[in-house]
Structure 1
Amino acid sequence: MDTDIALKTAADLSPFALFLQADVVVKAVMLGLLLASVWSWAIILERSRRLSRLNREAAQFEDWFWKADNLDALYEPASRANHPSARAFIAGLNEWRRSLAAKGGRIDRDGLRARLASAINVSIGRDIDELSDRLNALATIGSVAPFVGLFGTVWGIMRAFTGIAASQNTALAVVAPGIAEALFATAIGLFAAIPAVIGYNRLLHRVNRLEARLGAFAEEYLNLLSRQIDGLERN
């Protein structure tokens, strides 16, 4: 008899049973947190794969860049590429061509350098902003999910105590399910928050590293263009 009661209690305290027994408000909290967890994992996996791909392509493009005989030869393959290094290269070379065509024989060296730096940095900034965009969702989930879960717990405990007062029975078998389903909401909140926080910090670090890599490439690219500007000035 005691074994049957124990098995029934264990079944009643399973995660699925706790969800079914929960109040509609607590169910809504649980479902919202589960959806937030799925969303955060989708962002983490998508951004991780994308950053890995972008780093591989950046390394490949930089290798092509330094092996190219001239910048014009890289223009066509770079225009077909879909990564920040190629877009920064295209932005700089387009500005270079427009400036030389507009100025004719006379070149404003400082102005051209400033425009080239602006075009390249704007291109890099757009890509970094786009990569960082969904990370805000991870930060929000990581900071808000525990409090949403806590709200579900508080609500569930209030209902549990109300039920205890109404039944006037404080036996553990009566109290345990209501308390357990309330605490389950906090557990789901932590289940959603912890991966989101870890994913946000890790992905932000990888985005910052990619930004630093693109910044270093931009400096080398600008130095190369600057030397070409000096050569034009001497002609």
Structure 2
Amino acid sequence: MDYNTLSPLAMFLNAGPVGKAVMALLLLASIWTWVLIVEGVVAVTRITKSARSARQGGDVGVLAPVAEAGREAFALDLPDETIGDKRARIADHMSRAAREFLTKAEGGLPNLAVISSVAPFVGLFGTVWGIMTSFASIAQSQDTSLAVVAPGIAEALAATAYGLAAAIPASVGYNRIGAAFARVGQQVAHYIEDESLLMCSGHQSRPRRDREAA
């Protein structure tokens, strides 16, 4: 087998069946990681843009379910309810809708956490298997030369590299996108506070496309 090249494809092709299975699994995990990262970045960008637009009196965009929950709560009149109570009830309804919306939007984060924590151990399994292959080759050939152990060692290090390639982006993406969603949550909370106050102040004529459509 030719181990003169360090390209990922060559390392995969030169690995044994178990090594190939480990590398293929880690490659799929790496691709999935980048898909989740892109989805998370797009979601954060869209929500941030919608929250900023909503607070400025523009289109609520993807926050339409939150705005709809506020309108439904505002339309409900309860006996002996003060303006303060109604405002709190509207904010509560909108906050619950916002929590459900944000939970769905950040659905990929737990998967990134799983990949970042599991991928190194999967790579470690490939590493251990490659080293075991090297010892088995020594036992079969009764030779301890580098040519005998090199294939197994190369397979072991390749599995480690594949594991890190999947784990590092997943870990960075989980922490960065998680922090971004926390900031977005604060923006949405400010929007809910402003909107509930506006509804109860009697200025329902605020120019906004979602209300005109309603």
Q: TM-score range by the shorter chain?
A: 0.7 to 0.9
Q: Which whole-Å deviations, capped at 9, do the CAs of 1:15-37 have from their partners, x for residues lacking one?
A: 33332232222211110000000
Specify the alignment match of 1:108 in structure 2: 81
Following superposition, the deviation at residue 50 of structure 1 comes to 2.5
Counterpart residue identity of residue 87, structure 1: P
2:23 to 21, 27, 30: 30
2:107 to 120, 129, 133: 133
Q: Take 1:169 and 1:15, find their aligned partners in 2: how far apart are those partners?
A: 28
Q: Which whole-Å deviations, capped at 9, do the CAs of 1:69-118 have from their partners, x for residues lacking one?
A: xxxxxxxx65xx4x12x332221111111x23xx4xx5412653343122
Is residue 39 from structure 1 mapped to residue 24 from structure 2 by the alignment?
no
Q: Take 1:176 and 1:112, find their aligned partners in 2: how far apart are those partners?
A: 73
Q: Is the 8 A contact 2:126 2:156 kept in 1?
A: yes
Q: Is the 8 A contact 1:18 1:177 kept in 2?
A: no
Q: What root-mean-square deviation, in Å, do the aligned CA atoms of Structure 1 and Structure 2 show?
A: 2.1
Alignment of 1:185-204 (within 5 A): 185-204=159-178
Identity of aligned residues (%): 42
Q: Which whole-Å deviations, capped at 9, do the CAs of 1:134-180 have from their partners, x for residues lacking one?
A: 11000100011001100111011111111111101111122212101
| TM-score w.r.t. length of structure 2 | 0.85
Q: Take 2:7 and 2:106, find their aligned partners in 1: how far apart are those partners?
A: 39
Q: Is the 8 A contact 2:134 2:148 kept in 1?
A: no
Q: Take 1:14 and 1:22, find their aligned partners in 2: how far apart are those partners?
A: 13
Q: Is the 8 A contact 1:9 1:173 kept in 2?
A: no
Q: Which whole-Å deviations, capped at 9, do the CAs of 1:175-230 have from their partners, x for residues lacking one?
A: 2121011111011000000000011111101111110000111112222334449x
Counterpart residue identity of residue 184, structure 2: L
Question: Secondary structure of the residue that 1:37 maps to in structure 2?
Answer: helix
Q: Take 1:108 and 1:17, find their aligned partners in 2: how far apart are those partners?
A: 72
For structure 2, list consecutive stretches of 5 or more residues without a partner in the other structure.
Answer: 204-214
Q: Take 1:213 and 1:114, find their aligned partners in 2: how far apart are those partners?
A: 18
Q: Take 1:37 and 1:141, find their aligned partners in 2: how far apart are those partners?
A: 8
Q: Is the 8 A contact 2:69 2:97 kept in 1?
A: yes
Following superposition, the deviation at residue 57 of structure 1 comes to 2.4
